[in-house]
């Protein structure tokens, strides 16, 4: 197949939460590792973890029970020696949980442990219980973005080697250096996750790349690209220089009958999340279809400049409905 998607890198959102693998609670590290090894074996080029202290699924139609999760920086470091070929990334780190200087030091260490394979995603935060758990009132959107901008500036400067002097409203640094430096030259890429106009302005001015996820139509994504292009052009930056990563829920079948079987299984394994949602509805804004349909969709995303597509092989973030769904997606996307 002569496909644009062949030039797009494909990543997997790993199971990370106690809800992530049906029938297993608590999630064991051995299961998380098995998924990472399978993903590497079948050809995925990157593996991703998110950043919460815990998470509930009320936002997605599930319960408000708080689900435990693996801390991403520690876990990526643990994975680095067991999955030696794939890139490793954060989707995305919550600014409020760590001082930027301490975060940069940890990320530099992970990049060195991993042999120079780390991609860094940072975010402003959206889950209020994370803030409550650290005794911190969730700031306004404007303040969260201001805090994120300062964190991006400090982290990128330190990952480049430092020393960094920074006197911000929310972040401080005095001669800060990561010691030892990350292996990647000139440094690991730093991208920002989100979708609002002010967020895209921050991307254009301060970040290497942009991520958004988990449900997007082509038209809605094009509209955001137009905003990003305007923000880049306002400061003389080539919009093509912004590394674009996109996360999408994904499900693929060998044919329509197989797709419907897999979707029924995902419904069964996602209690409350997909109740009353038929497959035709579920397709909208997701990477869902037969092999040919998924390939065509991936081509269109590649045509919009998406360089890394991160698939979520479940109904909620960082869930994997079944390992054979992961394998089927790998085969369809010819990775």
Is residue 52 among the annotated active site residues? yes
* Model pTM score: 0.96
Is residue 128 among the annotated active site residues? yes
Choose the catalytic residue: 35, 40, 52, 95. Answer: 52
Residue 334 pLDDT class (50, 70, 90 cuts): confident
> For residue 246, what are the contacts with CB-CB under 8 A and spacing of at least 6?
211, 212, 213, 216, 221, 301, 306, 308, 309, 310
Query: What share of the chain in percent tops pLDDT 70?
Result: 98
Torsion of CA 114, 311, 123, 154, to 10 degrees: 30
Would you say residue 145 has pLDDT above 60? yes
Would you say residue 6 has pLDDT above 70? no
Give CATH for domain 4-332.
Answer: 3.20.20.30
> For residue 158, what are the contacts with CB-CB under 8 A and spacing of at least 6?
100, 101, 104, 105, 108, 164, 173, 176, 177, 178
The pLDDT tens digits for 250-284 are 999 999 999 999 999 999 999 899 999 999 999 99
* Low-confidence winner among 6-15, 61-70, 146-155, 218-227 (lowest mean pLDDT): 6-15
Peptide bond between residue 186 and the one before it cis (omega within 30 degrees of 0): yes
Rounded mean pLDDT, 68-93: 98
Choose the catalytic residue: 24, 40, 71, 128. Answer: 128
Confidence (pLDDT) at 1? 44
The pLDDT tens digits for 172-194 are 999 999 999 999 999 999 999 99
Residue 5 pLDDT class (50, 70, 90 cuts): low
Residue 3 pLDDT class (50, 70, 90 cuts): low
Helix, strand and coil percent figures for the chain, each rounded to 5: 45, 20, 40
């Amino acid at each position: 197949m002569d496909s644009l998607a062949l030039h797009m890198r494909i990543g997997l959102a790993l199971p990370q939460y106690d809800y992530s693998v049906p029938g297993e609670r608590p999630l064991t590290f051995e299961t998380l590792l098995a998924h990472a090894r399978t993903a590497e074996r079948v050809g995925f080029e990157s593996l991703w973890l998110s950043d919460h202290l815990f998470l509930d699924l009320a936002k997605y139609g599930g319960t408000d029970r708080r689900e435990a999760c693996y801390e991403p920086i520690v876990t990526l470091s643990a994975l680095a020696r067991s999955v030696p070929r794939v890139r490793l990334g954060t989707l995305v780190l919550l600014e409020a949980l760590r001082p930027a200087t301490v975060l940069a030091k940890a990320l530099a260490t992970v990049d060195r442990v991993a042999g120079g394979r780390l991609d860094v995603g940072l975010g402003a935060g959206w889950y209020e219980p994370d803030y409550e758990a650290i005794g911190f009132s969730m700031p306004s959107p404007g303040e969260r973005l201001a805090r994120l901008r300062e964190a991006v500036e400090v982290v990128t400067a330190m990952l480049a080697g430092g020393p960094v002097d920074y006197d911000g409203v929310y972040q401080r640094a005095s001669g800060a250096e990561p010691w030892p430096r990350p292996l990647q030259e000139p440094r690991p890429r730093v991208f920002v996750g989100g979708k609002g106009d002010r967020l895209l302005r921050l991307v254009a001015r301060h970040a290497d790349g942009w991520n958004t996820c988990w449900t997007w139509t082509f038209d809605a994504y094009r509209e955001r690209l137009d905003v990003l292009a305007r923000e880049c052009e306002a400061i003389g930056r080539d919009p093509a220089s912004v590394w674009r990563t996109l996360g999408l829920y994904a499900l693929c079948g060998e044919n329509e009958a197989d797709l419907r079987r897999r979707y029924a299984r995902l419904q069964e394994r996602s209690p409350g999340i997909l109740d009353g949602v038929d497959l035709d509805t579920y397709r909208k804004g997701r990477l869902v279809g037969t092999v040919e349909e998924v390939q065509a969709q991936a081509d269109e995303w590649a045509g919009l400049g998406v360089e890394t597509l991160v698939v979520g092989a479940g109904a909620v973030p960082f869930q994997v409905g079944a390992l054979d769904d992961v394998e089927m997606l790998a085969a369809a996307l010819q990775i």
